[in-house]
């Protein structure tokens, strides 16, 4: 019947049949072999599904009789015979056929295929063939089945069974009512849209919102037009679902109809970005809207981010903000720890070989250091992350900031040797917070360097304190009485020189060092430190 091909996918294996000639392979045999392929495979279900979907798409080109579309429908008729496996196989076959349609230019007689698909749908609705409701919708969309095809499919039923099914439209409408009674709104709405059924009004929309069927409500409102969309937006605003309202306004170009709602939604989005320190993203999303730009300046003033205020005012000619001074109670900096509270003697920038060697010598004399890394954020979904730009290593009194990009470019071997000496030292305890993220980013940024492959005596204090929310900022607030200011954290760490505020921002990892006395009394101390306890005692 075909040749078995073993494809290694991840850690598993999947056996597939090539089916070089499908002229004499029946749908039943095809489904049986497909099932064998699936259960023979040892990789994960998703990987098997995708691999078999690709294979089925290919074999549909191998001349199945009487044609690929008819062959597919016949397979769907037989799939329920495989009981528990039918659901997955049905979705697999339909998705593979849809993929096949994108490649193929010719099909067998489309009218006959539509009639056959309509027969299958009618049998599913009547309970003669067991498939779930999602399959009905996929069949309608894939084969573009119309009411006229339903009429043909229902004729034999009326003749043979003597059952009055009414018109095709009445038959479909009864099915829609059944779907609504079982609260399957998404499929019901899709059927209404497909068959242009629009006699359900505003009360239907409100019922969907009441049942929290927001996706179906949006689909229905979009189909019905602007008045229904406006009603939906008003309901979302009343429920304080501003983000959902904003997306509908933007998607359907209704900004002029809901200017206040649009403004509130944009401001809410900008505020969230500002709280995360994503000022550049917030600025880009304003699209030169002066009112929103003024709001962003206000957020920067509220956060005490004076250099961002100056930058925005200068760039967008917002002179009236330059003389405004907010009351002390509105500025948030008083709630944050400051670098001068730590009595740090020096912060040293390291970007040349002499400074690198000197820093390594100094750090070699420390018993405990804090580690942290920064890199330029990347806001484009799916794009490659930027390289780690700087690495900070600090004791209680002194901090070294390593310019990894420059050092790696000019003296990669020396950098590798120096950092290996520090990171692999059994005499220096290295503290970090959620540092596994940094180690992964370092290894990806500089794969050729050995220093970022292994670490000795590295302790992630996140595993000790088990703080459920808020990260390091929350932990420092809980233990040291004040939080960390991360307003500027998501900035461009590749620019040189760093701004004074960026240098000040590097300080959060210094606070890790000042958590050291509390580590011994942390709830998870004993369980987390059994492997390093003896070494720790020797250090102190």
pLDDT at site 386: 84
Domains of the chain listed by start with CATH number:
4-194 (no CATH), 259-334 (no CATH), 336-539 (3.30.420.10)
In whole angstroms, how far apart are CA 230 and each of 255, 449, 529? 11, 58, 59
- DSSP letters for 22-72: -TT--HHHHHHHHHHHHHH--S-HHHHHHHHHHHHHHHTTS--SS-HHHHH
How confident is the model at residue 29, as a pLDDT? 84
| pTM for this entry | 0.57
Cβ partners under 8 Å of residue 431, min gap 6: 368, 369, 370, 371, 459, 461, 512, 513, 515, 516
Alpha-carbon distance 509 to 344, whole Å? 13
pLDDT of 374: 83
Q: Any idea which residue has 């956060």 for tokens?
A: 303
Own/partner pairs, 160-163, CB within 8 angstroms, 24+ separation:
none
Please check whether residue 43 is in contact with residue 52, taking contact to mean a CB–CB distance below 8 angstroms. no
Distances (CA, A) of 268 to 167, 240, 242, 248, 369: 51, 12, 8, 16, 39
Q: How many CB atoms lie within 10 A of CB 317?
A: 8
Alpha-carbon distance of 257 to 255, in angstroms, equals 5
d(CA 241, CA 238): 8
Q: Say how far residue 61 (Cα) sits from the centre of its chain.
A: 35
Rounded Cα gap, residues 152 and 235, in angstroms: 42
Angle at which helix 133-143 crosses helix 86-103, to 10 degrees, equals 10
- What was the pLDDT predicted at 334? 44
**pLDDT confidence of residue 415:** 96
First to last CA, the chain: 73
Nearest-angstrom CA–CA distance, 211 and 183: 8
- 3-state SS class at 377: coil
The answer to whether the beta carbons of residues 512 and 472 sit under 8 Å apart is: yes
Confidence at residue 537, expressed as pLDDT on a 0 to 100 scale: 43
- The Cβ of residue 522 has, within 10 Å, a number of other Cβ atoms equal to 17
Report residues of the chain scoring pLDDT below 50: 1-15, 18, 162-163, 326-334, 337, 341-343, 468, 470, 507-509, 511-540
Helix (H, G, I), strand (E, B) or coil at 107: coil
Secondary structure (DSSP) of 238-259:
HTT-HHHHHHHHHHTT-TTT-H
**Closest C-alpha among 185, 164, 163 to residue 176:** 185
């Amino acid at each position: 019947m075909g040749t078995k091909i073993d494809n290694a996918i991840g850690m598993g294996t999947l056996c597939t049949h090539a089916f070089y000639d499908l002229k004499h392979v029946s749908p039943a045999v095809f489904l049986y072999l497909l099932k064998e392929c699936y259960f023979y495979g040892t990789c994960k279900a998703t990987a098997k599904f995708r691999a078999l979907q690709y294979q089925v798409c290919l074999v549909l080109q191998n001349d199945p009789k009487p044609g690929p579309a008819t062959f597919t429908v016949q397979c769907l008729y037989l799939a329920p015979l495989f009981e528990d496996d039918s659901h997955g196989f049905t979705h697999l076959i339909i998705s593979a056929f849809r993929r096949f349609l994108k490649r193929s230019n010719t099909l067998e007689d489309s009218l006959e295929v539509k009639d056959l698909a309509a027969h299958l749908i009618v049998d599913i609705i009547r309970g003669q063939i067991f498939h779930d409701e999602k399959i009905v919708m996929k069949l309608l969309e894939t084969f573009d089945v119309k009411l006229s095809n339903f009429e043909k499919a229902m004729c034999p039923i009326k003749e043979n069974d003597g059952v009055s099914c009414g018109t095709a439209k009445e038959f479909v409408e009864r099915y829609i009512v059944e779907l609504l009674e079982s609260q399957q709104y998404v499929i019901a709405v899709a059927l209404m849209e497909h068959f242009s059924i629009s006699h359900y009004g505003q009360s239907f929309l409100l019922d969907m919102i009441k049942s929290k069927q927001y996706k179906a409500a949006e689909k229905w409102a979009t189909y019905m037009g602007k008045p229904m969309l406006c009603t939906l937006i008003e309901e979302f605003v009343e429920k304080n679902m501003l983000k959902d309202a904003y997306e509908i306004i933007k998607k359907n170009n209704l900004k002029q109809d809901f200017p206040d709602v649009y403004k509130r939604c944009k401001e809410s989005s900008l505020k969230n970005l500002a709280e995360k320190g994503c000022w550049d993203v917030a600025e880009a999303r304003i699209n030169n809207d002066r009112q929103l730009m003024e709001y962003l300046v206000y957020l920067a003033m509220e956060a005490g981010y004076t250099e961002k205020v100056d930058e925005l005012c200068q760039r967008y000619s917002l002179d009236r903000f330059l003389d405004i001074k907010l009351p002390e109670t509105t500025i948030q900096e008083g709630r944050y720890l400051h670098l001068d509270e730590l009595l740090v003697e020096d912060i040293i920038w390291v970007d040349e070989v002499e400074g690198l060697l000197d820093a390594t010598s100094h750090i070699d004399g420390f018993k405990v250091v804090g580690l942290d890394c920064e890199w330029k954020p990347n806001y484009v979904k799916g794009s490659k992350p930027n390289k780690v730009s700087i690495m900070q290593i600090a004791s209680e009194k002194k901090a070294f900031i390593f310019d990894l990009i420059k050092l790696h470019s000019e003296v990669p071997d020396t950098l590798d040797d120096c950092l290996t000496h520090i990171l692999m030292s059994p005499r220096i305890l290295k503290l970090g917070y959620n540092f596994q993220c940094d180690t992964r980013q370092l290894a990806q940024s500089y794969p050729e360097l050995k220093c970022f492959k292994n670490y000795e005596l590295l302790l992630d204090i996140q595993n000790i304190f088990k703080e459920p929310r808020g990260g390091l900022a929350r932990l420092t607030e809980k233990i040291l009485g004040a939080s960390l200011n991360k307003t500027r954290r998501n900035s461009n760490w590749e620019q040189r020189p760093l701004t004074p505020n960026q240098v000040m921002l590097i300080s959060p990892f210094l606070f890790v060092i000042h958590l050291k006395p509390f580590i011994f009394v942390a709830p998870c101390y004993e369980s987390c430190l059994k492997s390093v306890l003896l070494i720790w005692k020797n250090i102190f």
